[in-house]
Structure 1
Amino acid sequence: MKITFVGGWATSAQQYPRLAASARFLIPFTGFAPTQLCGVIAEGGDVLVGWSTGAHMLLKDCRNLFSGYDRVVLIAPFLSFTDSFPKRLIRGMIAGMENDPAAVVRSFHENCGETDIPDYNPDQTVQLVAGLDFLNSSRIEIDGKFSCPNLTLVHAAEDRIVRRKAFDKVAGIVQNSVIMDIAGGHKISETKLMSIIKG
């Protein structure tokens, strides 16, 4: 099975080692620039998965490529990150990255429900700040609705990062998609993630 996974802000392969070993594992900002994503995934495959920021990027710029995959799974997608994560908190994270970036990233992972915090790479600070700037301003503007029958939208009940109201805005514009509600926080377990991917 050819799987392409697009992670979120501060994603690390340490979070999903089995997936990282078996799939094309793409990380925004530290691994690619937002403008590069469509070209990177254009070849298609069996399953395309976007998590959080990755889901947002795919939905914003690459939805015309969804038909090139048998299945597309967007976990914790949002039209605008600020629909559930206030701009003042993003600005606070940006300010914190100047003084103690490791602490900012660690706190974010903790709020995601992460139990095994991945290692912080100080060489990625500039890219992660650019990612926060992106999240502070990026918004998906779609007139009306669009149909995507091979799309599954996933939301975890205890997600403190992308709250239900933000997820529902996405669900409200996509017709013929499957809505999957699961238990857990923003960072779902690898076991659950692999189960969703395998369908």
Structure 2
Amino acid sequence: MSLIFVGGWATAKEQYPVISESGKFLIPFVDFKPEELPELISGGGNTLVGWSTGAHILLKECRAHFTKFDNVILIGPFLSFTESFPERILRKMISGMSKNPTRVLASFHKNCGENNKINFFDSQVGALVEGLEYLISSRIEIENDIAISNLILVHGNDDKIVRQTAFESVTKSFSGGRIVTFNSGHKLSEDELLNLIKGL
């Protein structure tokens, strides 16, 4: 099975160790810029997974390539991040990244439902700030419903990052696939994600 996983803001490989060793594991702004993602996934494969910011970028930049995959799983997707997080909070995070990035990231991961300490490199701070600026401005504008038959939209019912209304904005814009809900926060556990993939 070929797998491409596109993570969210501040994703780290240790959050999904099995998946990171099983396929292509891409972290937004650290490994690629949004406009570069279509080329990185253009070869297709069995399963394409996007989590959070990764799901947003895939919906915005890569829909033309979805037919090259058997299944496209988008976890915690959104059309506009500020539908869940006001710009002022993101600006506060940007300011905090210049003062104490460890604290900002620890708080963010805790809100994601991540129980483990996630390490990061100081060299990533610039890329992470770029990602926050992107989340402030990026929007997906959908005029008419778009049907994508191989699409699976996933949301945790205790998601504190992408609110239910923001998730519903996606489900109302993209039809034809499946909607799956987990008893989780913003971060789906690796076991839950692997079981979902295996069950396809």
Calculate the TM-score normalised by the size of structure 1.
Answer: 0.99
Unmatched segments (≥5 aa) in structure 2 = none
Deviations 1:73-114 (A, max 9, x none): 000000000011111110000010110011111110011010
C-alpha RMSD of matched pairs (Å): 0.7
Q: Cα distance, 1:174 vs. partner? A: 1.0
Q: Cα distance, 1:52 vs. partner? A: 0.2
Give the counterpart letter for 2:53 in structure 1: T
Equivalent residue of 1:162, what SS?
coil
Structure 1 residues 64-103: aligned runs within 5 Å: 64-103=64-103
Question: How many residue pairs were aligned?
Answer: 199
The reply to whether residue 138 of structure 1 matches residue 144 of structure 2 is no
Give the whole-Å Cα distance in 2 for the aligned partners of 1:67 and 1:164: 27
| 2:174 equivalent in structure 1 | 174
Q: Cα distance, 1:144 vs. partner? A: 0.6
Give the whole-Å Cα distance in 1 for the aligned partners of 2:136 and 2:88: 9
| 1:183 equivalent in structure 2 | 183
Give the counterpart letter for 1:164 in structure 2: Q
Q: Cα distance, 1:70 vs. partner? A: 0.4
The reply to whether residue 114 of structure 1 matches residue 114 of structure 2 is yes
Q: Cα distance, 1:160 vs. partner? A: 0.1
Cα pair 1:7 1:26 within 8 Å, conserved: yes
Equivalent residue of 2:153, what SS?
strand
Give the whole-Å Cα distance in 2 for the aligned partners of 1:161 and 1:40: 26
The reply to whether residue 32 of structure 1 matches residue 32 of structure 2 is yes
Give the counterpart letter for 2:29 in structure 1: F
Give the whole-Å Cα distance in 1 for the aligned partners of 2:14 and 2:193: 14
| 1:19 equivalent in structure 2 | 19
Q: Cα distance, 1:173 vs. partner? A: 0.9
Give the whole-Å Cα distance in 2 for the aligned partners of 1:121 and 1:102: 10
Q: Cα distance, 1:53 vs. partner? A: 0.2
Which contiguous aligned blocks of 4+ residues in structure 1 show a shift greater than 6 angstroms?
A: none
Cα pair 1:11 1:27 within 8 Å, conserved: yes
Cα pair 1:102 1:122 within 8 Å, conserved: no
Give the counterpart letter for 2:103 in structure 1: A
Deviations 1:15-74 (A, max 9, x none): 000000111101000111111000100010000000000000000110111000000000
Deviations 1:96-134 (A, max 9, x none): 011001111111001101001211211100000000000
Deviations 1:139-195 (A, max 9, x none): 001111111010000000000000100000000011211010111101111100111
The reply to whether residue 128 of structure 1 matches residue 128 of structure 2 is yes
Cα pair 1:9 1:128 within 8 Å, conserved: yes
